Every structure is written in structure tokens, then in C-alpha cells.
Amino acid sequence: MKKRNETKAEVVLTGDRTTGKLHLGHYIGSLKNRVQMQHQYESFVMLADVQALTTHFNSPDQLRHHVRQITLDYLAAGIRPEKCTIFIQSLIPEIAELTVFYSMFVTVNTLRHNPTIKSEAKEKGYKDLYYGFLGYPISQAADITFCKATLVPVGEDQLPHIEQTRRIVRRFNQLYKPILTMPRALVGEVPRLVGLDGKAKMSKSLGNAIALDATFAQVQESLKGAVTDPARIRKSSPGYPEICPVFSYHQAFAAESADEIAQGCRFAKLGCVECKERVARRINELLDPMRATRAEYDARPSLVDDILQTGTAKARSVAKRTMQEVRDAMEISYF
């Protein structure tokens, strides 16, 4: 029998917290890469409902709703269930088990100094950190290693977590037996898409995003309200595209005409209204086919259930195999 990794060179895993709808930042930072890679490599995408609980433990009902919505986002964006295993994190108990084992050799200080943990804690106003929140980079290591992923397509904010996973893999392999695979991050074309407010990254929990299921009119409206170069009050004043969030959307979604847009802005020939309308058109062109595919799946809820159940069962069988190897390596497989 062939081993899994002999047929395809890389194993790809990524996921999204089920805290809200996916947006353009997810698409350009990670999802686009996943869609391309599913044709080449063994691929897994995870609905990270446990990781969502680290900040949303008081509203599990919301997470349930978003599991379905994000599945529709995946399917709409081009994830094909026959090519890529879509699964629900909380239904893979081996991930929780691995998290416990790895947590024995990761220090609290290392977690406290993780830059993404620090900035997310600040953003959320946490003073005293919840144990689960502080430890989520460890659970992420469990997500990545249960399927022996080698490649993890992520946005820039996830890099410290992949680094943490690499340290866990190295340590586990030294302590016990070298059975875990070393993963590496693959950052998308745009490592951090800025939000409509121009301040933070586009994020589903900050209300500064264009969702992948936005209607034609919502895209136009969102862009109308987007922050631009603040020094540019009227069309006749020259702008600085490099500091304008809307220009960064041109670069991300209409790269071939970005130079022309930059010139128009710098030499005060193109006004912000037209500039926004042009990028809104391009974003709508990108989202249009997604809207059609989403509607097809949305009309067939039992098919979506089937996709989730089949994917989760497949992920579970992979997880069981890895768990056995981990227990053997740690010499805690007793019978």
C-alpha cells in the first residue's frame, strides 16, 4: 500500500476561526493559495471552532452559524470537496489530545512574548489572559501536525504561530522520536490587507471588512466609506497612493492597472470617487462567480452537511493514525 506522502509531495493545512464571514483579506492572504494548491497537493481546510472559542466562549451559537457560512465561503471561492478535505476542528478529539501533550514542553513566557498574542490581547483589551487564549498557538501546532502538514498558507499575522509550531516539532522529535513533519508558512500575495478604516488589518471581528458574500451594492457602499489619503481633500490636490488603503486594494485586486491609478492620483488627474468606483468594479468582477456558486450550494443544505461529514471523517482517520504514532513515540501506548 502506498503511503499518503508518496503520491503528493506536500500536505497543506489551513483554517479559519469561525467567528464571522470570510472577507477579501482572507481571500488574498490565504484562500487564493489554497484553491490553487488543492490541485497539486493533499489539502485540508479546517473550520477552527475551538480556536474561535478562545475569544468567543460565551457565544457558541454564533460559531455554529459561522461553520456553515464559512463552508459556503470556501465552496464559493473554489475549494473542491473532492480535492480538499474540509473538516470541523472540535470533531477531531486527537487535536485536543495533542494540545495537552505539546503543552508540557512550551513555557508560559514563550507564549506571553508571542507578538500576535500580544497584539490580539491588546486589541481585545485583555489584562488577565485566559489559559485557552494564551495557549492557542499550541493548539495550532496540534492542528498542523495531526495531518503532518508541510505547507501552511497564512496571512502575516500567523507567522509567529508557525514558528511556534516548528519549535514544538523540533522539540517533540528530539524528546521522543522523529515522527512529526516540519511545516513551513506560505504567505499570500498580500500578507496583510488593510481594513476599510485604514488602521488595522481587515478583520472579521473589527467591522472593517468586505465580506466574500457582499452584494454588488454593498461592495460599492463599503468602498465609498473607505478611508483614503487624508491629505487629499479635493481632486486638484496631489495624493500619496502609498499611504492610501484604496490604492492597496487596486494593487491586490487590479494589479495590472495599479501604475496608471498611482500616476492619476499623484498628478491629481484621478479623483477619489472614480478611483473607488474602478476598484469596486474589479472586486465585483472577482466576487460575481463566487455569488453564483454560493447560491447553488446554499440551496442544497444536505449536500453541505455531507461535505462536512465526509471531510471530518477523513480528517479523523488521519488523526487517529498520527495519534497512535505519537503514543508509541512517547511510550504511552500501553496495550
Which residue, among 220, 234, 298, 219, has the nearest Cα to 265 in the 3D structure?
Answer: 234
> What residues line the site for ligand ATP (CB under 6 A)?
16-17, 19, 25-26, 29-30, 154-155, 157-158, 192-193, 201-205
Tell me how far, at minimum, the Cβ of 304 lies from ligand ATP, in Å.
Answer: 20
Question: Based on CB atoms, which residue is closest to ligand ATP, 188 or 311?
Answer: 188
Question: Based on CB atoms, which residue is closest to ligand ATP, 201 or 282?
Answer: 201
Tell me how far, at minimum, the Cβ of 188 lies from ligand ATP, in Å.
Answer: 6
Whole-angstrom distance, CA of residue 159 vs CA of residue 55: 20
Tell me how far, at minimum, the Cβ of 197 lies from ligand ATP, in Å.
Answer: 12
Question: Based on CB atoms, which residue is closest to ligand ATP, 159 or 179?
Answer: 159
Residue with cell 471531510: 311
DSSP run (H or E) holding 286: helix 272-298
Tell me how far, at minimum, the Cβ of 165 lies from ligand ATP, in Å.
Answer: 13
Tell me how far, at minimum, the Cβ of 140 lies from ligand ATP, in Å.
Answer: 10
Whole-angstrom distance, CA of residue 83 vs CA of residue 4: 14
Whole-angstrom distance, CA of residue 278 vs CA of residue 285: 11
Q: Which set of grid coordinates corresponds to residue 290? A: 463566487
Whole-angstrom distance, CA of residue 63 vs CA of residue 49: 6
Question: Based on CB atoms, which residue is closest to ligand ATP, 53 or 261?
Answer: 53
Whole-angstrom distance, CA of residue 316 vs CA of residue 122: 35
Whole-angstrom distance, CA of residue 15 vs CA of residue 154: 9
Question: Based on CB atoms, which residue is closest to ligand ATP, 162 or 258?
Answer: 162
